[in-house]
Structure 1
Amino acid sequence: MDRRVKRNKQTSILSYWTIRYVAVLCVGFGIIALSSVYLIRETATDNRLKTAGLLGQEIADRVAAEDGRPVIPAHMNKLLDNRLDYFNFAGEICLLITDRDGKLLYSMPDTSEQSMKERMTADLKQSRIPSEKAVITPVVGEMGTIGQVTLLMSKNSLAESSYELEMLIVMLVTLVLSGWLTIYLLSRKLSLPIRRVAEGARLIRAGQYDVQLDVVTREREIQELVDSFKEMAGRLKQLEEWRALSLGGVTHELRTPVTSIKGLLMAVRDGVVSEEEAQEFVDIAVQETGRLERMVSDLLDYNALSAGSVEIVGATVELRALISEIVYQWELTNKQPNADIALDLPDLAVYAVVDSLRIQQIVVNLLNNAQQATHPGRPSAIHVRVAEVGDRAFVEVTDNGIGIDQEDGPHIFERFYRGEKKRLRTRGLGLGLTYSRLLARAQGGELSLQVSSSDGSVFVLDLPARSE
């Protein structure tokens, strides 16, 4: 249980990246700081030892020689005060001047000879105190070495370099704060549009599709994400509106024939109509039943094809013969009086790898639509043409009907969409063209509206041709 809670615990991008980046900065700069402090202390120790050597050499040069013994000048105290202040050694150094026998001649601060012997080794070359460093400079006279100048300095004072350390601390703190501020601003800038998109996604999940994302950024990828989400939200809103309208339309279209059939049959059953009227009512009920059957069939066919359960059996088919047979069969049962249907076939055979049954469904649907679009002021004329261009075969169905409104043209292949003209003239679910296009694409082809006006419409079925 605890493991699951720990796994599901989440944090914001801003906190996640800022904390981790600062942690990495602190670790990295901590290593740099330790290395720098070590190098600074080593460098400072080396420099101070060299400076102490120069100071010792100057003092040794100031010591005069008399009868082979060093003589301390009278102004030694003043000289040392000036030099210690100049080299910034005040309070950190002990100066000892001894003769060749190790006898203490001068010290600063005042030190007894006994204290000197306790503090120095017997040869006066090293300090007995581990934390202390001795800098030895010989005093040379005409007869050779006549004594030595000893500078005793604390190792800590040798390594101390407060100015450099202060500069290092200021630099590291500045870098850490700059790095933190940089990642904070970047994370905030990146997290803001992502957070807005997440909020929009939550609104869509709750059913609110009217999402406004007022996000403008210079980052191309982030802007593409925001723009894509806006388009998706708009599309979902449109689809939801269409779904609601389509559901209402489907419900209405299915309920209308059911209500009509029920009313007609109840009238016949209750005997409220004459025998002749009863027969007419039964015929009307049969017609309504046929319309209802076609609606349900369209809905089932569309759902089956959308789910991928409709099998497409491709075979090499001669299109001229197939289209001729389809048009002939359709004329036998669907041609209206005074209607004219013409068939235009090429002289040479046209072969295509298609499913004959599915091609029949597409062409019959186009012929039915052409007949339903008949203009009330002129006889119906339908023209079917088969052609081959390159490696493509085409079946054109042209009518002289009322045409399709310009605003309806881009939507006629969408599911459940029915233009105003068709909605007023015929009942249906608006799935015929959608189903036909899906069938065409399943065979490697395409169904499209080539042109439509008040003089009629032209639909084109594009199929892959095959030479024989």
Structure 2
Amino acid sequence: MDRRITQRIENFGKRKKEKNRPRKGTSLLTYWTLRYFLILFAALAIVAGIALYGIRETAMENRSRTAAMLGQEVADRVKNSDGSITIPTNLNNILDERMGLFNMNLDVCLLITDPQGNALFSRPEMTEAQIRQKIAPSSRSKEPEYQLIRTPIIENGQEIGGVYISQFRKTPAYDSQQLMLFAGLFGIIALSGWFTIYLLSRKLSRPIRSVAESARQIRNGNYDVKLEVKTGERELLELVDSFRGMAGRLHQLEEWRELSLAGVTHELKTPVTSIKGLVMAVRDDVVSGEEAKEFLDIAVQESNRMERMVADLLDYNAFSSGNVEVRRDRLDLKLLVSEIVYQWKLPHECDSIEIDYAFPDEMVYTTGDALRIQQIVVNLLNNGMQAAHPDRPLRLHIAISESNGRIEVEVADNGAGIEEADRDYIFDRFFRSEKKKRQTRGLGLGLTYSRLLARAQGGELQLRSSGPSGTTFSLRLPS
């Protein structure tokens, strides 16, 4: 029983692997060249059939005209001015010469008759019954396979006899040399077309195959791919350039993912370790009295920091998965920003922070979510406080302006600024500059989350400027 169960499990695993295994289809080169060759061959075969039929019908028509000309010449030679018919003694020689000149086959029959239908001459010699059959073939006989051409012998307006020429209808209209030439041309055209599409398909498939091989390496975890493709087609160049950019971006994201995971682990592990050490010191009576309370206060502060980091991570994940609702309310932006700054400043009354405003005199309204705007502005204020320069007091400048149907909220500080090498990455998730890592703890999600919130409300968050004299962020909102 156990063996049967084990065997079933193994068979199920094999079937699952075979199901998940990628199918190997036909290569682009084989697919297109084979189908193009079949289509080209079928098209050429149809064209060749129509051409052969047309050539044969044209040849049969020309043979009929030639036979009529021969019959007229024979009629002119055998008639006399007195209305009688005389067969020349050299008529067979004349016929041989004319048939050779007109390229007529030897199976042609020629009859000369009087007005009563009596045979005066036949070539080849035939019996009376055969002559009658040639002149008036029955419907049951095989004679309809022959083409009968009659030329009357006319003298002084009266018919004094007739010349009958019978030739086989199924006589080939072209010889073997013509057929070989035609078949050769057919083969050359087919092979030329196939070779052309083969070269084009191979030229097209090479860069695609290189891109597919590079994608396979990326799937296996090797991001250091070198895609060397030489092509002159614009679409292929765009494909290759886009893939190179994608590979570079994936490589960068993979490095950031590893660094971010290590950074997040480190940032969360540090307060946990600190809290654990402080609590154990109090539990084991290493410290007591006021010092023990101080240790517990520090533990509470560390737990609050860790709680904020976990909250940032949860908020970012919730928003990225689309589980955060953004309201669309009509808001008085001047009043809202004033309340946000006032509430933010209350816990920092003891800090030497100067805040000045530049608001327009008229009312400024926007459409958005008050809670989400508060999260963005508070995060920008916190960043300004963290960027404070040690040699000068912190001063924050809050400005609101409106132009071209857009409302702009500027938050500027007089801090140390952002390093030029870091400015392109400050909105990337989990990114934190080396300077900020040494000064404050965090996950590097504040600006990333703030930009997502701004875009969800139809706005945008940008870094306006940064330098040794300070940094300015711009939040644009719809009016």
TM-score of the superposition, structure 1-length normalised?
0.84
> What are the equivalent positions in structure 2 for 1:343-354 lying under 5 Å apart?
343-354=357-368
Give, in whole Å, the separation in 1 of the partners of 2:112 and 2:382. 125
Residues 68 and 143 of structure 1 are in contact (CA less than 8 Å); yes or no, is this contact kept in structure 2? no
- Residue in 2 aligned with 1:50? 65
Give, in whole Å, the separation in 1 of the partners of 2:137 and 2:335. 119
Give, in whole Å, the separation in 2 of the partners of 1:20 and 1:391. 58
How many Å apart are 1:454 and its aligned residue? Answer: 0.9
Give, in whole Å, the separation in 2 of the partners of 1:266 and 1:203. 50
> What are the equivalent positions in structure 2 for 1:12-23 lying under 5 Å apart?
12-23=27-38
> What amino acid maps onto 2:399 in structure 1?
R
Residues 134 and 150 of structure 1 are in contact (CA less than 8 Å); yes or no, is this contact kept in structure 2? yes
> What amino acid maps onto 2:276 in structure 1?
K
- SS of the aligned residue for 1:156 comes to coil
- Residue in 1 aligned with 2:40? 25
> What are the equivalent positions in structure 2 for 1:333-412 lying under 5 Å apart?
333-389=347-403, 391-412=405-426
Give, in whole Å, the separation in 2 of the partners of 1:145 and 1:312. 109
- Residue in 2 aligned with 1:161? 174
Classify 1:325/1:253 alpha carbon distance in 2 versus 1 (closer, same or farther; 3 Å): same
Deviations 1:271-321 (A, max 9, x none): 334544433332222221121111111111111222222222343333333
Residues 120 and 126 of structure 1 are in contact (CA less than 8 Å); yes or no, is this contact kept in structure 2? no
- SS of the aligned residue for 2:441 comes to coil
- Residue in 1 aligned with 2:225? 211
Higher alpha-carbon deviation: 412-421 or 361-370: 361-370
Find the partner of 2:131 among 120, 145, 161: 120
How many Å apart are 1:49 and its aligned residue? Answer: 1.9
Deviations 1:184-211 (A, max 9, x none): 3343333333333333333333233333
Alignment of 1:440 onto 2:454: yes
Give, in whole Å, the separation in 1 of the partners of 2:159 and 2:476. 115
Give, in whole Å, the separation in 2 of the partners of 1:332 and 1:40. 102
How many Å apart are 1:48 and its aligned residue? Answer: 1.0
How many Å apart are 1:457 and its aligned residue? Answer: 0.9
How many Å apart are 1:116 and its aligned residue? Answer: 2.9
Give, in whole Å, the separation in 1 of the partners of 2:261 and 2:424. 21
How many Å apart are 1:97 and its aligned residue? Answer: 4.7
Higher alpha-carbon deviation: 366-375 or 117-126: 117-126
Alignment of 1:261 onto 2:275: yes
Residues 134 and 166 of structure 2 are in contact (CA less than 8 Å); yes or no, is this contact kept in structure 1? no
Give, in whole Å, the separation in 1 of the partners of 2:142 and 2:337. 115
Residues 95 and 150 of structure 1 are in contact (CA less than 8 Å); yes or no, is this contact kept in structure 2? yes
Classify 1:367/1:74 alpha carbon distance in 2 versus 1 (closer, same or farther; 3 Å): same
How many Å apart are 1:122 and its aligned residue? Answer: 6.4
> What are the equivalent positions in structure 2 for 1:280-291 lying under 5 Å apart?
280-291=294-305
Classify 1:32/1:347 alpha carbon distance in 2 versus 1 (closer, same or farther; 3 Å): closer
> What amino acid maps onto 1:31 in structure 2?
I
- Residue in 2 aligned with 1:201? 215
- Residue in 2 aligned with 1:94? 109
Classify 1:336/1:216 alpha carbon distance in 2 versus 1 (closer, same or farther; 3 Å): farther
> What amino acid maps onto 1:12 in structure 2?
S
* Length, aligned pairs only: 455
Higher alpha-carbon deviation: 395-404 or 345-354: 345-354
Alignment of 1:452 onto 2:463: no
Residues 60 and 138 of structure 1 are in contact (CA less than 8 Å); yes or no, is this contact kept in structure 2? yes
Higher alpha-carbon deviation: 120-129 or 48-57: 120-129
Alignment of 1:420 onto 2:431: no
Give, in whole Å, the separation in 1 of the partners of 2:152 and 2:331. 117
Give identity over the alignment, percent: 54
Deviations 1:137-185 (A, max 9, x none): 455678966655443322222x523376556544544443344334333
Find the partner of 2:91 among 69, 72, 76: 76
> What are the equivalent positions in structure 2 for 1:158-307 lying under 5 Å apart?
160-162=173-175, 168-273=182-287, 275-307=289-321
> What amino acid maps onto 2:53 in structure 1?
Y
Give, in whole Å, the separation in 1 of the partners of 2:83 and 2:405. 121
> What amino acid maps onto 2:436 in structure 1?
K
- Residue in 1 aligned with 2:4? none
Structure 2: gaps of 5 or more residues: 1-14
Residues 111 and 121 of structure 2 are in contact (CA less than 8 Å); yes or no, is this contact kept in structure 1? yes
C-alpha RMSD over aligned residues: 3.3
- SS of the aligned residue for 1:410 comes to coil
Higher alpha-carbon deviation: 179-188 or 242-251: 179-188
Give, in whole Å, the separation in 1 of the partners of 2:118 and 2:301. 139
- SS of the aligned residue for 2:194 comes to helix
Classify 1:338/1:9 alpha carbon distance in 2 versus 1 (closer, same or farther; 3 Å): closer
Higher alpha-carbon deviation: 425-434 or 19-28: 19-28
How many Å apart are 1:360 and its aligned residue? Answer: 2.2
Higher alpha-carbon deviation: 420-429 or 49-58: 49-58
Residues 257 and 289 of structure 1 are in contact (CA less than 8 Å); yes or no, is this contact kept in structure 2? yes
Higher alpha-carbon deviation: 368-377 or 268-277: 268-277
Classify 1:347/1:36 alpha carbon distance in 2 versus 1 (closer, same or farther; 3 Å): closer
> What amino acid maps onto 1:361 in structure 2?
Q
Deviations 1:192-247 (A, max 9, x none): 33333333333333233333333344443343333333322222222122111111
Classify 1:75/1:340 alpha carbon distance in 2 versus 1 (closer, same or farther; 3 Å): same
How many Å apart are 1:259 and its aligned residue? Answer: 1.4
How many Å apart are 1:432 and its aligned residue? Answer: 0.9
> What amino acid maps onto 1:240 in structure 2?
E
- SS of the aligned residue for 1:342 comes to strand
How many Å apart are 1:452 and its aligned residue? Answer: 0.8
Give, in whole Å, the separation in 2 of the partners of 1:142 and 1:288. 136
Residues 69 and 147 of structure 1 are in contact (CA less than 8 Å); yes or no, is this contact kept in structure 2? no
How many Å apart are 1:406 and its aligned residue? Answer: 0.8
Structure 1: gaps of 5 or more residues: none
